[in-house]
Amino acid sequence: MTDETSFDDRAAESPILRRSLHDETVARLRDMIIDGRLAPGDRVNEGDVGRRLGVSRTPMREALKTLAAEGLIENVPGRGAVVRAFTRDDVFDMLEALKIIEQEAGRLACARASDADIASLRAVHDRMMQLYAVRSRLNYFKLNQDIHSGFARISGNATLLWAHESIQARMKRIRFVGNGSEDKWAAAVAEHEEMIVALEAHDGDALAEVIGRHIDRTWVRVQDALPERASAAPAEEPLAS
Amino acid sequence: MTDETSFDDRAAESPILRRSLHDETVARLRDMIIDGRLAPGDRVNEGDVGRRLGVSRTPMREALKTLAAEGLIENVPGRGAVVRAFTRDDVFDMLEALKIIEQEAGRLACARASDADIASLRAVHDRMMQLYAVRSRLNYFKLNQDIHSGFARISGNATLLWAHESIQARMKRIRFVGNGSEDKWAAAVAEHEEMIVALEAHDGDALAEVIGRHIDRTWVRVQDALPERASAAPAEEPLAS
DNA sequence: ATGCAACATGCTGTATGCAGCATACTTGAT
DNA sequence: ATCAAGTATGCTGCATACAGCATGTTGCAT
């Protein structure tokens, strides 16, 4: 279960385009939040964390403003940045919204997407099947994000894609935690296959139905891993150990 | 038609809660973008605009980062902030996304909203009818934002509300411009009435249908005011004149 | 022992200074 | 006259310095 050690996925980025320091800092902080180095409820000390990332307070503060707008942290006046902690209700809302967006994006994709677009999603799915075959959980998980936002991507609607990815970014930590047991994983893989088949058949209703089922079961799975009232962070490292 | 002069709506804010300088700056810049003082494509000079707002470059830069995350401006590396210009396709995508979110939020609202919630929306609608009666265009327009995000608000889903408001914030400028002629306005008012009736009857399908129709017609209306390829800003002030 | 008040510390919020880069202008050559 | 190259200017990006505030601690009084 531990063929990978770090959650870091920066290596997968485009190799040519060098990002600005701001984007870099935002990305690294995002990673720290997702993989739990910054736990929900933690105060983010600009000086400390900035030193740790090798940037001064100014770009640090700017990155925190960006993350606040993304909904990953909260900026309390006079007290600085706090990693946002999601309640059970918050997570329910996020999944419900994700379901709506993904279903409708799926319908649009069935109506509009080119064969090449569909083939590209099929390719991602095939790679995920291979990763599932060797139980490479972390790499599977990484691609899982892609395939879900993939429907929004090939729907051709940039705003839907933006909304989906924004919400998914907040959920990443939680989905990471609630990745579930062997049989649940198998069921998820089967549903993915159903989705791709529906997409290839341009059957929007069928696709929406599977997506709905899939996300409903995600809610069940995630719910178990969620503490009663507070956030999404058990104290210990949940997966990458 | 010119009973109001400024787009400014800060007076409508909660009187007690004093906002931080950051939030204040963000809000003021947002207003400047919406009412056209900062036109799409304009470069935002940190020094100049900062002086104009009475803040130094640092909080200015932080505000720009927030606005960039909100999608109202773009941060070009090495060139600073540029007010984002939306293409016709961008606007179509935004309206399509808004339609999806608003329809499904409406369905949820019909299923879940309390009588008090529904009554509050009815109250907003009634006030809009009064404003329509005296043709108070700008004040009508302000409440129009509220009633549309209102469905998301009383759906009880905070994430849907967030998504709706985020997208609507970007659209504000365009909706402002494309407010349309007398008869189109009358049609819009009639559709609003239909929506409230459907909501009060808890008829989700009917509500979704009206919302769909309403936004489709918004697209038609807005499209005319939209230049072919570029942004959403005719040079002159379009409405408050 | 407990509560309150004054103080000390450390952090946030803002301003300013400096280096680097992009762009515009000027000057010269063809 | 036009184009190119070098130069100059002004802005961005980042670091640092300073002021104000929130919080934790200590000492004193009851």
Q: What is the 3-state secondary structure of chain B?
A: CCCCCCCCCHHHCCCCCCCCHHHHHHHHHHHHHHCCCCCCCCEECHHHHHHHHCCCHHHHHHHHHHHHHHCCEEEECCCEEEECCCCHHHHHHHHHHHHHHHHHHHHHHHHHCCHHHHHHHHHHHHHHHHHHHCCCHHHHHHHHHHHHHHHHHHCCCHHHHHHHHHHHHHHHHHHHHCCCCHHHHHHHHHHHHHHHHHHHCCCHHHHHHHHHHHHHHHHHHHHHCCCCCCCCCCCCCCCCC
pLDDT digits (tens, 9 = 90+) for B186-230: 999 999 999 999 999 999 999 999 999 999 999 988 887 776 554
- For range A118-126, the mean pLDDT: 96
pLDDT digits (tens, 9 = 90+) for A25-54: 999 999 999 888 999 999 999 999 999 999
DSSP A4-16: ------GGGS-SS
Which among B75, B77, B97 has CB closest to A163? Answer: B97
Enumerate chain B positions whose Cβ falls within 8 A of a Cβ in A: 20, 22, 58, 61-63, 65-66, 68-71, 75, 77, 89-90, 93-94, 96-97, 100-101, 104, 108, 157-160, 162-163, 166-167
Residues 45-74 of A with CB under 7 A from strand C: 45-48, 57-58, 61
Which among B22, B66, B159 has CB closest to A97? Answer: B159
Name every chain A residue with its beta carbon within 8 A of the beta carbon of B20: 77
Angle at B125 between CA B122 and CA B127, to 5 degrees: 115
How many angstroms separate the CA of B56 from the C1' of C5?
A: 38
How many angstroms separate the CA of A78 from the C1' of C7?
A: 20
Chain D footprint positions (protein CB, under 7 Å): 11-17, 21-23
Residue ranges, comma separated, of all CATH 1.10.10.10 domains in chain A are 10-83
Q: Which parts of chain A are beta strand (E)?
A: 43-44, 73-76, 80-83
Q: What is the value of ipTM here, to two decimals?
A: 0.85
CATH topology of domain B10-83: Arc Repressor Mutant, subunit A (1.10.10)
> What is the distance between the alpha carbons of residues A151 and A99, in angstroms, rounded to a whole number?
12
Per the model's pLDDT, the better-predicted residue between A123 and B241 turns out to be A123
> What is the distance between the alpha carbons of residues B241 and B235, in angstroms, rounded to a whole number?
13
- For range A204-227, the mean pLDDT: 89
B88-224 to CATH, choices 1.10.287.1080, 3.40.50.720, 1.10.510.10, 1.20.120.530: 1.20.120.530
Which among B68, B69, B97 has CB closest to A160? Answer: B97
Most confident among A124-138, A172-186, B114-128, B167-181 (mean pLDDT) = B114-128
A147 CB-near residues (< 8 Å, 6+ apart): A121, A124, A125, A128, A192
- Using pLDDT thresholds of 50, 70 and 90, give the confidence band for residue A181: confident
Residue ranges, comma separated, of all CATH 1.20.120.530 domains in chain B are 88-224
> Mean of the per-residue pLDDT values for chain A?
85
How many angstroms separate the CA of A47 from the C1' of C1?
A: 39
> What is the distance between the alpha carbons of residues A34 and A171, in angstroms, rounded to a whole number?
9
How many angstroms separate the CA of B77 from the C1' of C29?
A: 36
Tracing tokens 């008829």 back to the chain, one arrives at B203
Sheet of B43-44: strand order equals B43-44, B80-83, B73-76
